[in-house]
Amino acid sequence: MENFVNENFLEVKAKHSPIEVLQKWRNFCGVVKNPKRRFRFTANLSKRGEAAAMRKSNQEKLRIAVLVSKAAFHFMEGVPAGDYVVPEEVKAGGFEICADELGSIVEGHDVKKLKFHGGVDGIARKLLTCTTNGLTSDNELLNRRQEVFGINKFAEAQVRSFLVFVWEALQDMTLMILAVCAFVSLIVGIAMEGWPEGAHDGLGIVASILLVVFVTATSDYRQSLQFRDLDKEKKKISIQVTRNGYRQKMSIYDLLPGDVVHLSIGDQVPADGLFFSGFSVLIDESSLTGESEPVMVSTENPFLLSGTKVQDGSCKMMITTVGMRTQWGKLMATLSEGGDDETPLQVKLNGVATFIGKIGLAFAVVTFAVLVQGLFTRKLREGTHWSWSGDDALEMLEFFAIAVTIVVVAVPEGLPLAVTLSLAFAMKKMMNDKALVRHLAACETMGSATSICSDKTGTLTTNHMTVVKSCICMNVKDVDRQNTASSFSSGIPDSAVKLLLQSIFNNSGGEVVVNKEGKFEILGSPTEAALLEFGLFLGGDFQGERQTSKLIKVEPFNSTKKRMGVVLELPEGGLRAHTKGASEIILAACNKVINSNGEVVPLDEATNDHLNATINQFASEALRTLCLAYMELENGFSPNDSIPLSGYTCLGIVGIKDPVRPGVKESVAICRSAGITVRMVTGDNINTAKAIARECGILTDDGIAIEGPDFREKSQEELLKLIPKIQVMARSSPLDKHTLVKQLRTTFDEVVAVTGDGTNDAPALHEADIGLAMGIAGTEVAKESADVIILDDNFSTIVTVAKWGRSVYINIQKFVQFQLTVNVVALIVNFSSACLTGNAPLTAVQLLWVNMIMDTLGALALATEPPTDELMKRSPVGRRGNFISNVMWRNILGQSLYQFIVIWYLQVQGKTLFQLNGPDSDLILNTLIFNSFVFCQVFNEISSREMEKINVFKGILDNYVFVAVLSSTALFQILIIEYLGTYASTSPLTLSQWFFSVFIGFLGMPIAAALKMVPVSSS
């Protein structure tokens, strides 16, 4: 079986499996009992093909549109503008342009039409909006706008009702065959024995089918509701918008044409629109068109398309077209039908189900043949082989029903579905624990993780930053908020303070705005917020400083350059460049410094050493250091030029405190005890990184801390020795992180989880087995590349994800062990009995009930066990671990052997043991066998809670689902035996017979405990 599964079902990976591979395993599954149910949670490959075709079409459309718009620039002056008539319903709403016209301008990159309507300002007037203050919050006008232009939501697949799931459960081929059998049984039975006696067998099968269908449909419907809730969470995206003159966060689904949206690196463009101000904006359109080359957006090319990503720069845009009127809306509608990739475990268990199904089918055919042969032999012996009665027909029908039911029981259709059930349960619970799973496979892969590469800022630390130390004009000072700004500024020349405030407020990706309550609010990343807060503490005026100088050029911060720069046109004339970033990088770009007298002096070796020592001192105190510098641009500067990289004057150095999160040290210790190596990968100074890593317990005495530039220079041979010892990588670039992850995965065969928050982290998140994006600090690009979003940006949540991942893996193993035991016993009992005695002890109705116990109810009980702390004391499974382990085979075969011996003994010696005589003796004996078999499964279910530990009762009452399933199984079994005998072919049992049945089942528990003491090799 392992060879069959490994050969045909192991090519599917947790991420990025080719469509050919996904199609291949489907082909191997061949005929399945219920394709609608089996393949419900797998990718719709035809819809994916449609999405790919749509992307190709978009690419061609945009290519033509760009060529046309370029040509339009040359001929625009000579060509008269076309006439445009405003539709009456648009006029009635108070607007002067319709949605279709707006769509054709942006989607068609139509420069001519844009100019005809008066450019961005003209369209803003026609949309009754303002590029400065945005839309007003007048509800009546917003409603009218919504009616005319639509809402920013995409068409989604229709929510399926419970009845759809009932219908899909009825599509099971074996249940349909059994339904036909039941119908024939009813007709023949009533014709032979009349109503109601002749209808009992048929009605019993019908009732069993309906019970199976409704329990299955209920379970599937609950799963679909859980996935729907998770999908809603995945789609919660907020963006910065200006409305009523106030900048605020809004859901992208509330955006309307005319809204003013602020975009920065890593944001997803939320709707089609027009750029009207910003700097260095590069747009990645690959998600829409498949084209990897980024597009520069400016006033000459102002068209922004929904679904594209901001790769660099920042800007403001005005929304023009929303929702299903955009190409992205149409693409998303198709993509949503494509579904999520199936997980490797789902595919592997599909392989197991297929393999066992083939064996079950062979057994069913042989069983039917043996039973029919027994009937023919008996009729030949009696000399009645030429005369066939209705009873004979009913008996043949019963044989056929038993054969079909053996297929029902033998094919473990529930295996791949148990994975989905367990994953859905885990995803819902993880959502409560602040982890949003975007891809199903991430749940199970996280359980195998052997290495976590974590960011420092915001993950290991709180991301609440404040400037606590500074070195300005060579004076090192503590920043004490209890003192006044004047006392802090004493000793710092006024000219230096003025330059410092100019640098802080202009060279910033953040903003200080007045909110609706009239109070100052700082917007931007935690680092920017810390600097702006420091500027306000020094008595600066953000708006006043911004209005004094004119921004000529902005180069936003990114993790490759590790710096940000701006060029200002000063009010007195002249140009000045400001830069800030990683302290040692900016200091290395300086050749001058402001001394304690406020004079600009050359940066000599002694001063340079003093400043480097200050940086190291701040860093050793676990402070994040930033250096600020400026230069006068005397030779002129064009906005098309790059901001100079050297020749700066050092303004000062600030030390920013970002405390370690509570509980991180304990979480790192838990990871270590679980066999998971935690590495810190950060862009910060190496001394800062080492200090934080020691505080977190990541950096140990035998570990290595290395800087990205040094790591890059190492040869492959050196990396082989170095990587296992690396615990901290500082001043790393995104490429360093990607290289480390790739080496760990390929060379060292580790299962790697990686955290990331920036746009440049996307390659590493994509490369990793599990990409973990930060929910608060993370950009939309990082989140889209990730498999799990950590909603609270907390490292402890990552450990919780690992614990849930292990729980999913172990729970499915428990269920597989339980179900395969039932499969083996049910198959062998019915087959051997049919071959040796000519009849099967378990009827079709009884086997359907057993099937439900082991399938839907078994999955509910075992696949939804909550995780325990014990899980994090085991070694990780890793990449090469066998899913069906030797421990499981030991338990399956041992328990199967016990159950088979007991049931076979009852078949042979049951009548003698219980002194059964008379016409009902066979019925009572078969009832005893059925009852004992069911209670064997009930107690085996309890034993399956632990595969290696003897104490299986620990925490059993914490899982109310498990208790409810066991209780309802036992209760329904009593009803079947005592009250539904007419339909289930059972007879009421005496107290001693009940005690014996339950005791036989219970005896399986000490036998399971004894089996766990038998040592087996792990390989």
- Distance in angstroms (rounded) separating the CA atoms of residues 270 and 252: 6
Q: What is the CA radius of gyration of the chain?
A: 35
Distance CA 376, CA 388 (A): 11
Q: Which helix (H) or strand (E) holds 468?
A: strand 466-472
The type of residue at 559 is: S
Q: What is the dihedral of CA 994, 997, 1001, 1004, to 10 degrees?
A: 130
What is the spatial distance between Cα 531 and Cα 609, in angstroms, rounded to a whole number?
25
Average pLDDT over residues 17-34: 65
pLDDT at 59: 61
What is the DSSP track for 46-103?
HHHHHHHHHHHHHHHHHHHHHHHHHHHHHHGGGSPPPP----HHHHHTT-SS-HHHHH
Tokens describing residue 934: 């069911």
Contacting residues for 98 by C-beta, under 8 A, at least 6 apart:
86, 87, 90, 148
Model pLDDT, residue 534: 92
Overall average pLDDT of the 876-897 stretch: 84
Tokens read off for 114:
């844009």
What's the pLDDT score for residue 141?
Answer: 87
> 780 and 309 in contact (C-beta within 8 Å)?
yes
Task: Tell me the pLDDT tens digit for each residue of 546-588.
Answer: 888 888 888 888 777 888 999 999 988 889 999 999 999 999 9
Q: In the structure, what pLDDT confidence band is assigned to residue 35 with cuts at 50, 70 and 90?
A: low
pLDDT per position as a tens digit, 973-995: 999 899 888 777 889 999 999 99
The rounded distance, in Å, linking the Cα atoms of 546 and 538 is: 16
Q: Does the structure show a pLDDT above 50 at 32?
A: yes
Residues 6+ apart with CB under 8 A from 909: none
In percent, how much of the chain has pLDDT > 70? 87
d(CA 842, CA 929): 8
Count of beta carbons in the 10 Å neighbourhood of residue 920: 11
Question: What confidence score (pLDDT) does residue 338 get?
Answer: 47
Question: What is the Cα–Cα distance from 163 to 161, expressed in whole angstroms?
Answer: 5
pLDDT at 37: 62
Q: How large is the average pLDDT for residues 887-896?
A: 91
Residue 123 confidence class, pLDDT cut points 50, 70, 90:
very high
Distance CA 524, CA 536 (A): 15
DSSP state of 856: I
What are the structure tokens assigned to 19, written together? 């469509």
Place of tokens 């087995």: 769
Quote the pLDDT of residue 51.
61
Does residue 22 carry a pLDDT above 70? Answer: no
Question: What digits encode the pLDDT tens for the residues 389-436?
Answer: 767 777 777 777 777 767 776 667 667 767 777 877 888 888 888 888
| pLDDT, tens only, 651-672 | 999 999 988 888 899 999 999 9
Amino acid, res. 975: L
Query: Quick one: pLDDT band at residue 768, thresholds 50, 70, 90?
Result: confident
pLDDT (mean) for 989-1013: 93
Q: Using one digit for the tens of pLDDT, what is the confidence trace for 608-658?
A: 999 999 999 999 998 999 999 999 988 778 888 888 999 999 999 999 998
DSSP letter (8 states) at residue 105: H
Distance separating the N- and C-terminal Cα atoms of the chain: 16
Average pLDDT, the chain: 83
Of 237 and 271, the structure prediction assigns the larger pLDDT to: 271
Render pLDDT for 820-834 as a digit per residue (tens, 0 to 9). Answer: 888 788 878 877 877
Tell me the pLDDT tens digit for each residue of 434-487: 888 887 778 778 888 899 998 888 788 888 889 999 999 888 888 887 777 777
pLDDT at 522 over 80: yes
Angle between helices 390-410 and 200-234 (to 10 degrees): 20
Residue type, 799: V
248 strand-pairing partners? 241
- Which of 241, 354, 847, 315 has the alpha carbon at shortest distance from 554? 315
pLDDT bin (cut points 50, 70, 90) of residue 78 is very low
pLDDT of residue 77: 45
Question: How far is 535 from 539, CA to CA, in rounded Å?
Answer: 7
Band of the pLDDT at 69, cuts 50, 70, 90?
Answer: low
**Percent of the chain's residues with pLDDT above 90:** 24
Nearest to 206 by CA among 230, 188, 236, 184: 184
Instruction: Say if residue 319's pLDDT is above 80.
Output: yes
To the query of whether residue 172 is one of the catalytic residues in this protein, the response is no
Say if residues 275 and 317 touch (Cβ distance below 8 Å): yes
Residue 457's pLDDT is 81
Which tokens hold the place of 621? 């105190």
Residue 743 has a pLDDT of 92
What DSSP designation does 948 have? S
Per-residue pLDDT at 586? 94
Give the DSSP H or E segment for 41. none
Catalytic one among 201, 220, 267, 455? Answer: 455
82 pLDDT exceeds 60?
no
How far is residue 825 from each of residues 205, 844, 854, 896, measured CA to CA in Å? 22, 16, 12, 6
Q: Return the pLDDT at 448.
A: 85
Q: Are 739 and 710 in contact (CB under 8 A)?
A: no
Per-residue b or e along 510-538, where b marks 16 or more CB atoms closer than 10 Å to that residue's CB: bbbbeeeeeeeebbbbbbbbbbbbbbbbb
Question: What pLDDT, in 10s, does the model give residues 207-219?
Answer: 877 887 887 788 7
- Confirm if 27 and 426 have CB atoms less than 8 A apart: no
Contact 629, 472 (CB under 8 A): no
Instruction: For 900-949, write each residue's pLDDT tens digit.
Output: 999 989 888 888 888 888 888 888 998 999 999 999 999 999 999 998 88
